[in-house]
Each structure stands twice: as structure tokens, then as C-alpha cells.
Amino acid sequence: MSNKMHIKLKVNGKDEEFLAEPRELLIYTLRERLNITGPHIGCETSHCGACTVTIDGKSVKACTMFVAQASGKDITTIEGLGGPDDLHPLQTAFKEHHGLQCGYCTPGMITRAAKLLEENPNPTEDEIRFGMAGNICRCTGYQNIIKSIQAAAAEMNASKEAAE
Amino acid sequence: MKDEVTREDRVANLKGMGCSRKRVEDARFTQGKGNYVDDIKLDGMLFGDFVRSPYAHARIKSIDTSAALEVPGVLAVLTADDLRPLGLHWMPTLAGDKQMVLADGKVLFQGQEVAFVVAEDRYAAADGIELVEVDYEELPVIVDPFESLKSDVVLREDLVAEDGSIPAGAHGPRKHHNHIFTWEAGDKDTTDEVIANAEVVAEESMYYHRTHPCPLETCGCVASMDKVNGKLTLWGTFQAPHAIRTVVSLISGIEEHNIRVISPDIGGGFGNKVGAYPGYVCSVVASIVTGKPVKWIEDRMDNLMTTAFARDYWMKGQISATKEGKITGLKCHVTADHGGFDACADPTKFPAGFMNICTGSYDIPTAHLEVDGVYTNKAPGGVSYRCSFRVTEAVYFIERMIEVLAIKLNMDAAELRRINFIRKEQFPYTAALGWEYDSGDYHTAWDKALKAVDYDGLRAEQAQRVEDFKAGKTRKLMGIGLSFFTEIVGAGPVKNCDILGLGMFDSCEIRIHPTGSAIARLGTISQGQGHATTFAQILASEIGLPADSITIEEGDTDTAPYGLGTYGSRSTPVAGAATAMAGRKIRAKAQMIAAYLLEVHDNDVEFDVDRFVVKGAPEKFKTMKEIAFAAYNQAIPGIEPGLEAVSYYDPPNMTYPFGAYVCVMDIDVDTGVPEIRRFYALDDCGTRINPMIIEGQVHGGLTEALAVALGQEIAYDDMGNVKTGTLMDFFLPTAWEVPNYETDFTVTPSPHHPIGAKGVGESPHVGGVPCFSNAVQDAFRPFGNTHTNMPHDHWRIWRTANELGLHD
């Protein structure tokens, strides 16, 4: 009998089904098996957040979760947030406010920020700093990341109001 | 109504120098479409990983790979014995030493590469690593460089002659079997004499601890040997792709034209990705052996434990002055801990980098520096972590010595700096340790900074705080950190700067397309600095085509002109200069084409923003777009078709950016927690190309400075075990710990740089570390503190408070 597990996932709206060893980490599944390379590996100890994805409405660090634990769940990565024709306001704001430099932390950073703004559409600067503390950036010193998130929040709230 | 395009519109349309152009890199990064080395996948690609030594010093009695080779998916296990026939079991280092690629009979530091397991995937490689059996015999461990110089234990038997004598090293005579070099600058006798006869002398010993650049992306590569065509392609996190190509050719014997090195997107470098590492060599060999592409990617622990530490300088200083505070002499001795191999990444003639910039921003008539490099059982490295070759150490040293002298003189440290600054009219200024500073206006910058923060007001508040503390009204002290730094960047003149014999020029090649857009390729490589954005701005201003119509490409040695890469803030000073010079060649040819088209003499047209106009008749002109097309569609007498140029730029001097920083900090003496209330940073990087990117660089550099000053270190125990091998223990500040910074600037262009730019990426780190440290030290100054060593983490700050009796 195979020691592989039967895994079913939904990633960025697409159903995936495969056999995987119990020890396979979710980040490995995403990057190596599914070729979703937006989430990155930075530390493999849950500290840096470069691998952040959203699983069933929660921010999760994919480097320390087994894919078996994610079976049956709905996963969104940076690729699922927006693309060339439908950019997420955060993707626009990070460019507009120079919220990135080398870009390595950016997918995790934006994925986490999107979740943060969903939970708290009007965060204070301190709430953003606290809410983003699980994502490390080595380049920017965070100041422009905070600015980007604030700008995206304002933009999202304005378009929500306009729609109402 | 007429819709006239004004000259201002035309300037704005170029998005040239001086504007905050948004970055062209960001679209792919924000959408998860960056292409980093670990994103590369090739058919049949294998994965290699290391068996690493758990011991810091041990002899290897045997290595048994048989069980590992039984693991499904494991294809090969390389050891030093496999590399020896190829002559690749050792490799040269950038510092003139050599380093084991795989452990050759012994290991010299914990984490050292012992065997390379090649497998079908990472899991199989990890399984294989578990089953490689290495029989070690432990040897005495030396982690203290002072002890190392006294010890009978020989760390590097390969550097001792058979008769027991100590042959000279790459940098001259060696005093002991664990000694690497002595390097001197300045006039020892005069300095000794000045200090012996001085009215006031302050002395201090300080340890600039070992730390690590720790970019978020670790080091890695993919090697692919195409045996059919005999071509090797090597993708990797290389800050100097061309230098890597030459090194690979020299050590492998593969002809250089058969090697293509590609640096894809790089997830931060900060010096970590300058050197050549065993992983690169093993991947290349494994690809040759297996005939398949082989990927090697460090995990975080590998990264922190083995590739490229920074600092680890024990510095002893003496500074002399008159009673009025005029500095008369400076003496510095450094004991430099280089670990098991001397793999420092410095220009060949500078084994201690540019540590001889340690006279700082001050007019110090006499100085002497001596550096002793020492082997210990620690990882090799000694890279410039966000600085230009040991400038961080130099600036920390002088900015601490100034503070210590101020205490001795009972003088305000801001005033002491002011009366000793090199004056504006003294530039170009030749310092006592040899460098010629290109330009500066320190007094203006300092006064602007002190005024911006209301320095006198801060000192008054601080004095009140001390009163309140003594009266039991508060448990928080206030520290005012000052620093004024001068960097030396843009290495450098080929006459004195080379790496492995390669002169440190840099390059740019431009091709203008017929329809008036362009591609430019450079010998540098961005790791987040935004080269694709800013170099296009330089060109836009130089050649009059919009930055948005110019593609910048770097990092592929098959297409980019030869250059020495990106580190030491050299991209703008050197490759940026090459870009401007190549642009000027384009413009010179365009001028001739324009004159032909306008039917006037070459000298009768002049460049204006985006066109050549007939002098005195501005309505007669040809735009650069028109000229570009003409270059391809007309037979112009005496002019070759096409519009291309290349420039290899050898800078006549380094550039010397400077800045004035002030940090205001509240320190809780009971918890040791520092709270940064304010940080003001004034930078003068000469001509400013993109203010938005400059500001971003300053924020980032300051944050890396905060990290180093307030907690980040690579620590070892007495057995040579690395105590800070993961991000649990190695401090990287989060958004929660980092303040908002206030940035400011003055502009003092470099007189020798074609556009007057000096470089900025590393300044905030260089100036930031002493500023944060000085703030902590200053808070305790009223209670008798003169100096405590970094990193000032909560525990050490608490201990300082405790030792000063503030908990009694």
C-alpha cells in the first residue's frame, strides 16, 4: 500500500487533486507541484512570511503546514488576488508608494495585507504595523509598505462607498 | 486655442533624472511573477544539498556514503575525494586565500560543507543527507581571535611549511600559524609622538560584533551543463555575474565563452551574494557528472551559518586633541576575526577593505591604522553588509571615538564634530590615511540637521529627564544619538582596485532602435535598487528619449558588457557613469546626423531636451526619434548606419557621499527596551536621480542599521556552535519595531562623476549603526557610561543600567 495521501485542494479557484507523501509541505506543493511560484521561501520556520497564503479566510505561512493539513481547503495566493487586467488595489498601491524593492517579500506581504484589510477595513498605523508583524521585509524599512496599505484601504473604502 | 507642447512638457515626458519615476520592476513583483533562482525549473533538474559538519573543528576519519546511495531518488554523493582529481576540492577565495569546497580531511567551522548529495528532489536529498556517515575526531576549538594568536593549535596545517615555519600569505608576512596578515596605513611614529605629547587623549576598546546580511532570499544556483554543445549555463544569486563567469572558467578549465552566467531577479543581496560558495562549484560538478541540471538552494540555517558573515572587528582606538577640542591624532588597531578561511570580499590590495577611511569626516592631521587578520573556528566571509568594504566598521569606530573624546573633554559631541569637520574649501581633501575626498559641505549639512531636530531643545529636555529620573519621577532615560558619516564608495579606479585581478570598471552598452526606443545593458545587477528604473532615467536625460521607451537589462553575461557587479554602492558611481558616457557617444553621433538632416554644420546644432536644434533658430530641429530613424534609413556620407554605443568606465576616484543623522530614544531602564521616538536622516549623495528610490533606500538602510545596533548578531558558544542559526534567534526587525524616519538632503555633486552622482544605497546603514548605538550610549552618559558594545538588545541595555546602579 502506498504511503501517499489523497489530497484535494482548491487553489486560486482551481480544483487540484493528487497523491502526496504525508510530509510534503504546502509551500512545496504550491511551488514545485503546481508551479505557483508567487509565494516564496524565506526561513522555513514561520518567521518571515514570504510564503503567506490565505486558507479558508485565514493568513497562513505555507512553509510550515503540511499539504495534508490543507486538504479540502480553499487556498488563495498572490496569483489569485489580481493579474494584469484586474489588479488588486494593494498591487497598485505598492507600486504607487514604493512599497517594495527586491520584491521577494512582496507576494506574502500583499497577500497578508489583503486579509488584514478584509478583517479591518480602516486600520490605524499601529494596527497595520501589528497586523503585518508576521511578514519581514529586509529592503524597505516598512514605512512605504504602511503607506501603501493605507492608500489601498482608502481606495477600497472609496470604491465601496461609491458602489453603495 | 492651440495645444502647444512646452519645453517643460518635453522635459516631463522624458521622466529623466530628478523625478520620482515609479518603478518598472514592480508589475511583476506585485503579481507574484518575479523570476528568482528557485523559480527556475528545467527538464530533469536534480537537487543538491550538503551534509554539514556539526563540529567547529574536527578531523574527518572517514565518510561512508553507501547507505545514502541506496535511498530512492539519490543519484550521487560527492566528497572531497571526488573533487580532488578535478582540482576542485579547494577553491581560491576573493581574499587571496583558498577554501575547501568539500571538507578535505578536516572541518574548520560548524556547518562546513562535507558532502554534496544529489537527488531527484529536495526530500530525497534530505533523506540521503541523513544517511551519510561521517566519522569525526574532535579537535580543540578556538572562537576567540586573541586566544587564537597565542594558541599552539594549528587551524590551517596547509599554511604551515614542513619545517614548521610560517610562509608569507597573500598580504605579506604572518606572525603566527593562525595569523593571516597585518595591514597598515598612515604614519605610526608621528602618530605615536602626537598622542604621547597631546593635551588630551581618549582611549576606548570596542567590539563590532559578527552579524550577517541575511537577505530574505538565500543564496542558490542552477547549473546546467549541455554536454552536446559543451556549454555551461549557471543561473544564480550573483551580485557579480561576470566575475563569477571568470572565476568558474579559471577554476573549472571550461573556456569562458562556453560559460553563460545569469543572475535572474535577486531577493536582496546586501553583500551576501558577492562571494563564490562551495554550492556553486558542487552544482557545476554535479551537473557535469550527471549530465542534468542541478539546483542548489540554501535554507535559512545554511545561510546564517555558512555564507558571508559581516564585521567581527575588535577595535582599539586612541584619539588626541587640544584642550579646546581640536583633534590632533588618531590611532586604531583592529584584530579581525576572519573565521576558518580568509574569504573576505574586498579589492585585492585592501585586505581590511577601506577601513582606512576611519578618520571619518574630520580634519585629523595624523593617523595610523593597523589591522591583524586572524583565523578562528568560525565561518568564513567578511563581506560588506550594506556597505563599501568595511566602511561601516570605520565609521562606527570614529563616531564612537568622537563621543568618547567629547566625554573626556566634557564637551558637547555636536560641537566637537563641528569644530573638527573638514571645511568645504578644503576639498578635494587628502586624509591622513591616504584617501582623496572628492567633495563635501559638512557644516551646512550638520547645521541643517541640528536645526531640524531643535538640538538645543532636545538637550534641555534630556537634562530635565535626568533630573526627573534622579527625583524618581520617571524610569525612562532619554538618549540623543548623533552621527556624521562620510562613505567611500564606487570602487573603483582600476589603478588600485581589482578583484582577482579584474579591474573594477563598469560598463553600459546602448542600442537605439529605428523607431526611437532603446535597450541598454549594464555590467551591474539590481537586487532591489531599481536599476531598470533609474538607469533609464539617466539615459533619458542624456539621449532625449523617454525613460519609458528604454529597456534596461542586466545580469546575463552572454548579452551584457563585462562589469564587476553591484555592491559597495558602485552601480551609480561606476555603471551609472558608464551609462551617461555611452549616452553621450550616442548624442555625439546624433548631432552629426541632425546636422546632416538640417543641412547645417555639426557645430551649428545643439542638444535641447529631446532634440537637436539649429542654434539661434529653435523652430528648425530634429527630434531624437527622427534622428534614430534616420540612422537606420538613410545613407549619410561619412557616418556608419545604426545608433549604438558602449562605454567602459574607469572612475578617476571614489565618490564620498555623506550625511548627518540624529536619533532620539527613550529607554526603559527596568526592561531595557529602547523606544525610537524620532529619527532624522540627512543624506548628501550628490546629484539625485530618483528621490522616491533614494528615500526608499534610506528607510531600508536605516532599518538594517537598527537591526545591527539593537540586536542582530551571529553568536557562537565556546564549542563553536552557532547560537543564532534561525530567525527565531537572529534579529530581523518587523514593522512593529521600526519607527517612521524623517528624510532630508543637501546636494553636493561629485566633481569627477559625469552626472555628479555619488551613490546612496549603503549610506543609511553606515551612518545609521553609530547613530542608534550613540543614542543608547548617550542615555547612560550622565550616569558614567563611556562605551558599551553592540548589539544593544534589551538584555544588554538592562545590564548596562544594572551595572551603573540604576536598579538600586
C-alpha distances out from residue B379 to B214, B382, B629, Å: 14, 9, 56
Kind and range of the H or E run holding A127: helix A125-131
Residues B729-749 have a mean pLDDT of 97
Looking at this protein, which amino acid is placed at residue B745?
A: F
Give the residue among B777, B775, B778 at the shortest CA–CA distance from B788: B777
Is the peptide bond prior to A84 cis by the omega test (within 30 degrees of 0)? no
In a domain, B167, yes or no: no
* Mean pLDDT, residues B738-755 taken together: 97
CA distance B778 to B463: 12
- B732–A48 CB contact, under 8 Å: yes
pLDDT for B572-583, tens place per residue?
A: 999 999 999 999
Are B321 and B291 in a shared domain? no
A141, closest residue in chain B (CA to CA): B700
Residue A119: C-alpha distances to residues A31, A58, A114, A123, B202 (Å): 27, 10, 9, 9, 57
Please judge whether A101 and B529 are an interchain contact, meaning their C-beta atoms are less than 8 angstroms apart.
yes
Choosing from A50, A81, A112, the residue where a domain stops is A81
Nearest CB neighbour to A44, from listed B300, B695, B697: B300
Please judge whether B216 and A105 are an interchain contact, meaning their C-beta atoms are less than 8 angstroms apart. Answer: yes
pLDDT at residue A164, as a whole number: 85
Q: How far is B702 from chain A (nearest CA, A)?
A: 7
Could you give the dihedral angle defined by the CA atoms of residues B432, B435, B440 and B444, in that order, rounded to the nearest 10 degrees?
-30
Which one of A43, A78, A141 has the shortest CB-CB distance to B741? A141
Tell if the CB–CB gap between B703 and A145 is shorter than 8 Å.
no
The verdict on A73 and A96 lying in the same domain is no
Q: Which domain holds residue B249?
A: 37-141+218-266+274-306
DSSP 8-class letter at B23? P
Q: How far off is chain A from B398, nearest CA to CA, in Å?
A: 26
Q: Is B386 annotated as catalytic?
A: yes
Count up the domains in chain B and report the number.
3
Q: Are B304 and B724 in contact (CB under 8 A)?
A: yes
Whether A110 contacts A94, CB under 8 Å: yes
B239 is catalytic: yes
Residue A128's closest chain B neighbor by CA?
B735
Beta bridge pairs of residue A68: none
A85's grid cell: 487586467
Cα gap A114→B278, rounded to integer Å: 40
Interface contacts A/B by beta carbons within 8 Å: 172
Instruction: For residue B573, tell me if it sits in a domain.
Output: yes
| Helix or strand run (H / E) with residue B29 | helix B26-30
Last-in-domain residue among B604, B628, B649 = B649
Closest to A107 in 3D by CA, of A54, A152, A143: A54
Q: pLDDT above 70 covers what percent of chain B?
A: 100
> Do residue B252 and residue B390 come from a single domain?
no
Question: Based on the domain organization, do A54 and A93 belong to the same domain?
Answer: no
Residues of chain A with Cβ-Cβ distance to B26 below 8 Å are 94-95, 100, 103
pLDDT at B445: 98
- The DSSP annotation for B196-256 comes to HT-SEEEEEEEEEEEE----SS--EEEEEEETTTTEEEEEE--SSHHHHHHHHHHHH---G
Catalytic residue among B110, B112, B239, B462: B239
Report pLDDT for A1.
43
In this structure, are A76 and A94 located in the same domain? no
B416 and B327 share a domain? yes
CB contact under 8 A, B216 and A136: yes
**ipTM given for this complex:** 0.98
Instruction: Report CA torsion sign: B741, B744, B747, B748.
Output: negative
Residues B244 and B289 in one domain: yes
Residues B439, B586: one domain?
no
Cβ neighbors of A76 (< 8 A, separation 6 or more) are: A11, A12, A53, A54, A55, A111
Strand B309-321 relative to strand B294-297: parallel, antiparallel, unpaired?
unpaired
Average pLDDT over residues B198-209: 98
Say if residue B636 is in the same domain as residue B763. no
| Model pLDDT for residues B303-358, shown as the tens digit of each residue | 999 999 999 999 999 999 999 999 999 999 999 999 999 999 899 999 999 999 99
Beta bridge partners of B46: B294
Q: What is the pLDDT of residues B85-104, one digit of tens each?
A: 999 999 999 999 999 999 99
> How many residues are listed for chain B in this entry?
808
Per-residue pLDDT tens digits for B485-507 = 999 999 989 999 998 889 999 99
Q: Kindly report, residue by residue over B421-460, the tens digit of the pLDDT.
A: 999 999 999 999 999 999 999 999 999 999 999 999 999 9
**Calpha distance B611→B621 (Å, rounded):** 7
- Residue appearing with cell numbers 614542513: B162
Tell me what pLDDT residue B1 has.
47
Chain A: residue whose CA lies nearest to B299: A43
Contacts of B740 in chain A (CB under 8 A): 143
Same domain? For B314 and B451 the reply is yes
Active site annotation includes B214: no
Q: Give per-residue pLDDT as tens, B235-244.
A: 999 999 999 9
Let me know if residue B182 belongs to a domain. Answer: no
Of A47, A139, A145, the CB nearest to B735: A145
The verdict on B350 and B446 lying in the same domain is yes
Q: Which of B29, B121, B297 sits opposite A103 (nearest CB)?
A: B29
Residue numbers of the domain that contains A153: 89-163
Nearest CA in chain A to B30: A91
The pLDDT value recorded for residue B808 is: 85
- On whether residue B189 sits in a domain, the answer given is no
B3 confidence band (pLDDT: 50, 70, 90): low
Q: Does residue A76 sit in the same domain as residue A116?
A: no
The residue of chain A nearest to residue B123, with distances taken between CA atoms, is A24
- A105 close to B216: Cβ distance less than 8 angstroms: yes
B contact test, residue of A43, A91, A135, A140 with most B CBs within 10 A: A43
Are A69 and A95 part of one and the same domain?
no
Residue that finishes a domain, picked among B649, B674, B707:
B649
Residues of B whose CB is below 8 A from A102: 29, 215-217, 265-268, 527-528
Of A84, A102, A138, Cβ closest to residue B214: A138
Mapped onto helix, strand or coil, the DSSP state of residue B302 is: helix
Confidence at B785, pLDDT banded by 50, 70, 90: very high
What average pLDDT score do residues B625-632 get?
97
Question: Do residues A157 and A113 both lie within one domain?
Answer: yes
- Examine residue B249 and state whether it is found in any structural domain, yes or no: yes
Question: Do B417 and B322 share a domain, yes or no?
Answer: yes
Asked if B705 and B639 sit in the same domain, the reply is: no
Q: Does one domain contain both B738 and B677?
A: yes
Number of domains present in the structure of chain A = 2
Residue B477: per-residue pLDDT = 98
Tell whether the model's pLDDT for residue B182 goes beyond 70: yes
Kindly indicate the confidence band of residue B188, based on its pLDDT and cuts at 50, 70 and 90. very high
B55 to chain A, minimum CA–CA distance in Å? 23
**Cα separation of A50 and A65, whole Å?**
14
Residue A2 has pLDDT above 70, yes or no: no
β-pair type (B74-78, A58-61): unpaired
Statement: residue B189 has pLDDT above 70:
yes
CATH of the domain at B113: 3.90.1170.50
CATH number, domain with residue B454: 3.30.365.10
Assess whether B508 carries a catalytic annotation: no
Tell me how many degrees the CA angle B148-B152-B153 measures, rounded to the nearest 5.
70
The whole-chain average pLDDT of chain B stands at 96
In a domain, B736, yes or no: yes
In A, minimum Cα distance to B219 occurs at: A42
In the three-class reduction of DSSP (H, G, I as helix; E, B as strand; rest coil), residue B591 is classed as helix
B802 pLDDT exceeds 80? yes
Q: Which H or E run contains A78?
A: helix A78-81
Between the alpha carbon of residue B345 and those of residues A101, B108, B200, B548, the distances in Å are 24, 19, 37, 36
Residues of B in contact with A128 (CB under 8 A): 735
Please compute the mean of the pLDDT values over residues B260-266 and round it to a whole number. 97
Domain boundary among A81, A98, A117: A81
Per the CB < 8 Å rule, is A110 touching B270? no
Could B267 and A45 be called an inter-chain contact, meaning their C-beta atoms sit closer than 8 Å?
no
Give the residue-averaged pLDDT of B184-211: 98
DSSP, collapsed to helix, strand or coil, labels residue B506 as strand
Tell me how crowded residue A155 is: count the other CB atoms within 10 A of its CB: 15
pLDDT at B84 over 50: yes
From B602, B626, B649, give the residue that closes a domain: B649
Please report, for the domain that includes residue A133, its CATH number: 1.10.150.120
- Who's near B13: CB < 8 A, 6+ residues apart? B546, B610
| Judgement on whether residues B15 and B51 belong to the same structural domain of the protein | no
Q: Are residues A50 and A71 in the same domain?
A: yes
Write down the catalytic residue from B762, B771, B777, B781: B762
CA dihedral B691, B696, B700, B703 (to 10 degrees): 90
- A82 neighbourhood in chain B, CB within 8 Å: 31
pLDDT digits (tens, 9 = 90+) for B694-708: 999 999 999 999 999
Contact between residue B624 and residue B611 where contact means Cβ atoms under 8 Å apart: yes
* Angle (nearest 5°) at CA B723 between B719 and B726: 145
Of B32, B699, B703, the CB nearest to A78: B32
Are A143 and B699 within 8 A, CB to CB? yes
Per residue in B34-83, pLDDT tens? 999 999 999 999 999 999 999 999 999 999 999 999 999 999 999 999 99
**The three cell numbers locating residue B280:** 556553486
Tell me the nearest-neighbour CA distance from B123 into chain A, angstroms.
8
Contact across the interface for A106 and B529, Cβ inside 8 Å? no
Side-chain half-sphere exposure of B274, counting CA atoms within 13 A: 33
A30 and A52 assigned to the same domain = yes
Tell me, yes or no, whether B690 lies in a domain.
yes
A68 and A121 in a common domain: no
Which residue among B39, B265, B734 places its CB closest to the CB of A133? B734
B721-734 tens-digit pLDDT: 999 999 999 999 99
Which of B446, B447, B458, B391 is CA-nearest to residue B701? B391
DSSP type of residue A10: E
Q: Of A20, A49, A81, which residue constitutes the final position of a domain?
A: A81
Q: What does the DSSP 8-state code read for residue B152?
A: S
